[in-house]
Structure 1
Amino acid sequence: MAMFLKEGYANVTVEAVAEASSVSRRTVFRHFESKDELVFPDHAERLGLVARHLAEAPPGTDPVDAVIGATEASLREFLSRPDLVLRRYKLTRIVPELRKREVVEHERYVALTRSYLRDRLPPDAPPFQPMALAALIDAIHRSALGNWVREAGATDPVAELTAGMEWVRRMLVHQSAFSTAPLLLAVLPDSPETRRMLTSLKNAAEDLP
């Protein structure tokens, strides 16, 4: 990563990487299919980490909680290699094709968690929910990590992720209550008193656990 940043990504050959690593060119290609993969050496390992967390979730675990737990583990693994993550962020902002590759790498996480949720959410769950939840959880993860790298490690991504996941949980609780509770429809006159009453009800609803 240091070579790519110092000399320019396009100017560094696989042979130069092999020489700097004291291995042969053949050895490099034994581990990486292309030069682009050299920038993302940890993604396959981290994808495996997420898959293991999902597979090892205890029986009866809420599937959304399992995905949240796996995502938290993924973030902590990212943060265990700060130099790699920060340098890669700089590099992907310089080289557009690597930025595109990064988006593809993130889609692998979404595909994995979407498949897990599709197989485990209740049968009556809306058909869009596995994709929506997988994308939402990944977006919160990427936001927390992105804020951290943009601020050169000065933010607290774990706290941001935790807050985001609590928001997801609250949203699901409210959705469940809304989908099962009977509805009451009323027609009220548009008056200042009615508006004050509706505002009071709205504020009370927002305070519900």
Structure 2
Amino acid sequence: MQYVRGMPQSAKSPRTSGTSETPERSSAVGRAAAQKLKMRRELAAAAMELFATKGYEATTVDEIAAAAGVARRTFFRHFRSKEEAIFPDHDDTLIRAEAVLNAAPAHEHPLDTVCRGIKEVMRMYAAQPDISVARYRLTREVPTLREAEIASVARYERLFTRYLLGHFDERDHHDGNDDPLLAEVAASAVVTAHNHVLRRWLRADGQGDVEAQLDHAFAIVRRTFGMGIGAGRSTEDEPQAPVSATSSGDVLVTVTRTDTPLDQIMRTIEQALHGRR
């Protein structure tokens, strides 16, 4: 099986039409995006306040727009419905998570890259803990909002699954090679670990070092799935990171670079140990 981790994962380049992107235009685009996100957050804050005071079902789009000081048509330029109004950052966060994947260094294990990507989601929630906690409580009470939240989570899971599967040749799925299966299961495990830590943090009213908790959960995922992914792949086309293990008596010595992927180090150690039996 060909593992294509060494292939560069570059971000999509903007279309060009004979003219280069000027710093002024780039700055203007950045300001427009920031202004759009600011308005989405203001509409979301107004919606959350009305939901808390009037109730979700009794609140109308017109009331949300009026509370935010904008017209009804402005609301619908940013959201298709009031359900979407309490998730203003998911689109932007999905873009940032994908950017992490696209900019991943070639030597990084793809599972580590996915773990870094989903941290963007956690940071979105942690940036506004009070709103995140209130939104969590609301989604527990309103089935429609719960379904919208599940749909948002599914988007992240599809992104990470595509990324992991993109590092393996799915046509080489044969007996003894379970990499495509492991890749899909690992993506689900990363999302599940993130959601478990997030729910625990939200139930604690947003208290505690949530990023440290997430790192602990990801370490468990890596130990469970990271060693298996790519364990049986062919390495003839894969750049070899410098790692060696030699044994003498009861002592095993391993020499490796600090940037060598952990899964490759562990495989080398395991092969050395097996060779002594």
The CA deviation at 1:172 is 3.5
TM-score, structure 2 as length reference: 0.61
CA 1:162–1:103 in structure 2 vs 1: closer, same or farther (change >3 Å)?
Answer: same
The CA deviation at 1:179 is 5.8
Bigger strand fraction: 2
Is the contact between residue 186 and residue 225 of structure 2 (CA under 8 Å) also seen in structure 1? no
What is the percent sequence identity of the aligned residues? Answer: 34
Show the 5 A alignment for 1:146-165.
Answer: 146-165=199-218
Structure 1 stretches (4+) deviating beyond 4 angstroms?
122-125, 176-180
Q: Could you say which residue in structure 2 is the equivalent of 1:45?
A: 92
Q: CA RMSD in A?
A: 2.2
2:163 pairs with 116, 133, 139, which one?
Answer: 116
Q: Could you say which residue in structure 2 is the equivalent of 1:189?
A: none
Q: Could you say which residue in structure 1 is the equivalent of 2:55?
A: 8
User: Aligned partners of 2:223 and 2:104: how far apart in 1?
Assistant: 21
SS in 1 for 2:180: coil
Q: Could you say which residue in structure 1 is the equivalent of 2:179?
A: 126
The CA deviation at 1:86 is 0.9
The CA deviation at 1:125 is 4.7
Show the 5 A alignment for 1:41-190.
Answer: 41-121=88-168, 124-172=177-225, 174-175=227-228
**Unaligned runs of at least 5 residues, structure 1:** 181-207
CA-to-aligned-CA distance 1:103-128 (integer Å, 9 cap, x gap): 11100000000011110146655321
The CA deviation at 1:66 is 0.7
CA-to-aligned-CA distance 1:174-207 (integer Å, 9 cap, x gap): 5369869xxxxxxxxxxxxxxxxxxxxxxxxxxx
- Provide the aligned length of Structure 1 versus Structure 2: 182
Is the contact between residue 157 and residue 191 of structure 2 (CA under 8 Å) also seen in structure 1? yes
**Unaligned runs of at least 5 residues, structure 2:** 1-47, 234-268, 271-277
The CA deviation at 1:76 is 1.9
User: Aligned partners of 1:105 and 1:177: how far apart in 2?
Assistant: 29
CA 1:105–1:68 in structure 2 vs 1: closer, same or farther (change >3 Å)?
Answer: same
User: Aligned partners of 1:130 and 1:101: how far apart in 2?
Assistant: 26
Is the contact between residue 2 and residue 87 of structure 1 (CA under 8 Å) also seen in structure 2? no
TM-score, structure 1 as length reference: 0.79
Bigger helix fraction: 1
